[in-house]
Structure 1
Amino acid sequence: MKGKHKVRKDNAGRIVVTAFGIFMIAITFAIGIFLAYKGLGTFTKYGHSVGEFLFSSHWDPADDFTGGGSVGAAVFIVGSLLTCGLALLIALPGSIASAVFMTEISPRFGERVFQPAAEIFVGIPSVVYGWVGMSVLVPFIRRVFHLQMGYGVLTAAIVLAIMIYPSITTVSADAIRGVSRSCREASYGLGATRWQTIYKTVLPSAKSGIFTGIILGLARAFGEALAVAMVIGQRKAFPVNIFSPTTNLTAAIAADMGGAAEGGEYNTALWTMALLLLLISLLFIFLVHLILGKAEKGK
């Protein structure tokens, strides 16, 4: 009787877990299909080309159902690429250094204090990052670099760098911890110092996990809307330098979606931006699996 009861409980648990897994897969496909249905209307309903959307900088879609406007989103795409790329350049050295410190230099302090402190940043709402950026970072950059206003690519990149820092740090730290102790001992046995062991043995062995953290951090950076919108300046123009105000995909969607007529050309163009963001996220997920697959084959 006890054996049958255990089997029933195992089967019930398996059914529940499978149902939730299928539900999550269905939700993901439903979101993708919905975004494709709403976003592809820019090309199928209003007759714009993919080249115009991706490479033209003339953004003036008509807020009606007849069309005839321009949907060049190059300014928004370039703004997203610049802010996210610069944020990665700012966050990456500190994230890798922090991961090495909490795993190799002071592992006990890192596990008990450093990593929990870094993970707290993940739970802070994005509006708080944006508000701190507006009230502290914008005046600081304006004063230090003698600018008329401190809004721009650099300010948005710094805010994004702070936001993606804990994601890259924690994933990289887990990857470094996953390196076997025998690799370190073999390096020490050959006469390597601790720093030589770290950058010639440990980091190369953990590179797949570190790259995964980088890609996940980039995915979050591309999807962040509110904090970036508060500090980027929201000017529909290509930035001249890193201090210039501009805008990006998420800021444009957040600012204009509520005021555009449902089903109109303007609204549909914004849905196309959302579809592009989904495709970018899927690309990052594909890269994660590709990197992990190569790492498994290497082992």
Structure 2
Amino acid sequence: MFSKNSKEKGIESVLFFISTLTVLILFLICIFLFRDSLLLFKETSLLDFLTGKFWYPTSVNKQFGLLPLLLGSLLVTAGSILFSVPLGIASAIYISELAHPKVADFLKPFIEILAGIPSVVFGFFGLVVLVPFMQKTLNLPTGQTALTGSIMLGIMALPTIITISEDAISSVPSTLRQGSLALGATQWQTIYKVIIPASLSGISAAVMLGIGRAIGETMTLMMVTGNAAIIPSFPGGFFDPVRTMTATIALEMGEVPQGSAHFHALFAVGSVLFIITFIINLIADSIKKKYRFKVG
């Protein structure tokens, strides 16, 4: 028979091993990613890669300019967040604070089902339904634009934002609600002056996770954004085709000769995407700590 202490030590050892293995795998992925990325800069300077305005990887005079891909990704992501964050937070407030319990229990499963739909299904829906609608409604040459991609990404990010925000709002102690109402505040005043500030840590985490979902999406953007590697304008670029970093990697990695400059350029694009995601996670963590400290 094992003693209680030996069991606890065994569990601690297993958890430590799993945590160490996770960190090690992440470290090896970083090495693999950045090793092939750095080989690009034997032929192309880092400054030319980061500020280059043209992505012509197969032309005679090859140019590996990241700028059109980076700006395309940021434009689509910004549009999706402008669409999904207000709608997602408003939906979370309604489900948690305003909806009848039966209505809330009816809506939650549908939101969870929406989160489980594969991205290729969203992309197919966007290509068949939204793209022709946008082209006809806005009188555009093509409906495959940054705006179409933003709307689809916003829909895909909604379940994450709604679910996490609703959990954060629901976790606010009922004593805060009751105290606010007892002091004479209305329900709406209680929501935006007490409940929202108290749950801001969880809501900010939901927004950041939504951004992470949007900036890392591939299949849907390949199908609805047109995949034109040009620098988009703002705000007119929303109505033009764009190409994102993730779509570029997915479209070109399968046909590129291994070990070529084009091959290493795609790894460099992936490295930039990795760094952006890492920065987003750091920002999300700092925001959570900031507002958690204020609420406490």
Query: TM-score band (shorter)?
Result: over 0.9
Work out whether 1:259 is the aligned partner of 2:252.
no
State the 1:62 CA deviation: 5.6
Whether contact under 8 Å (1:63, 1:261) holds in the other structure is no
State the 1:165 CA deviation: 0.5
Whether contact under 8 Å (1:63, 1:267) holds in the other structure is no
The 5 Å alignment of 1:132-151 reads 132-151=125-144
1:46 corresponds in structure 2 to 43
Taking the aligned partners of 2:145 and 2:279, their CA distance within structure 1 comes to 27
The structure 2 residue matched to 1:219, chosen from 209, 212, 227, is 212
The structure 2 residue matched to 1:190, chosen from 156, 164, 183, is 183
State the Cα deviation string for residues 139-184 of structure 1 (Å, max 9, x = none). 1111211222211011100110011111111111111112121221
Work out whether 1:278 is the aligned partner of 2:274.
yes
2:82 corresponds in structure 1 to 89
TM-score normalised by length of structure 1? 0.92
Taking the aligned partners of 1:104 and 1:30, their CA distance within structure 2 comes to 45
State the 1:110 CA deviation: 5.9
- Percent of counterpart pairs with the same letter? 35
Query: What RMSD, in angstroms, separates the aligned Cα atoms of the two structures?
Result: 1.8
TM-score normalised by length of structure 2? 0.93
Taking the aligned partners of 1:235 and 1:110, their CA distance within structure 2 comes to 44
State the 1:75 CA deviation: 0.5
Whether contact under 8 Å (2:53, 2:67) holds in the other structure is yes
- Over 3 Å counting, the alpha-carbon distance change for 1:62 and 1:142 in structure 2 is closer
State the 1:47 CA deviation: 3.8
The runs of 5 or more residues in structure 1 that have no matched partner are none
Whether contact under 8 Å (2:164, 2:206) holds in the other structure is yes
State the 1:70 CA deviation: 2.0
The runs of 5 or more residues in structure 2 that have no matched partner are none
State the 1:8 CA deviation: 3.8
Whether contact under 8 Å (2:54, 2:229) holds in the other structure is no
1:245 corresponds in structure 2 to 241
Taking the aligned partners of 1:211 and 1:292, their CA distance within structure 2 comes to 7
Whether contact under 8 Å (1:103, 1:110) holds in the other structure is no
Taking the aligned partners of 1:109 and 1:284, their CA distance within structure 2 comes to 36
1:121 corresponds in structure 2 to 114
Taking the aligned partners of 1:115 and 1:74, their CA distance within structure 2 comes to 40
1:19 corresponds in structure 2 to 17
Indicate the larger mover: 232-241 or 104-113: 104-113
Q: Secondary structure at the match of 2:140?
A: coil
Taking the aligned partners of 1:161 and 1:23, their CA distance within structure 2 comes to 34
Work out whether 1:162 is the aligned partner of 2:159.
no
The structure 1 residue matched to 2:292, chosen from 282, 291, 296, is 296
- Number of aligned residue pairs: give it: 292
Taking the aligned partners of 2:17 and 2:106, their CA distance within structure 1 comes to 38
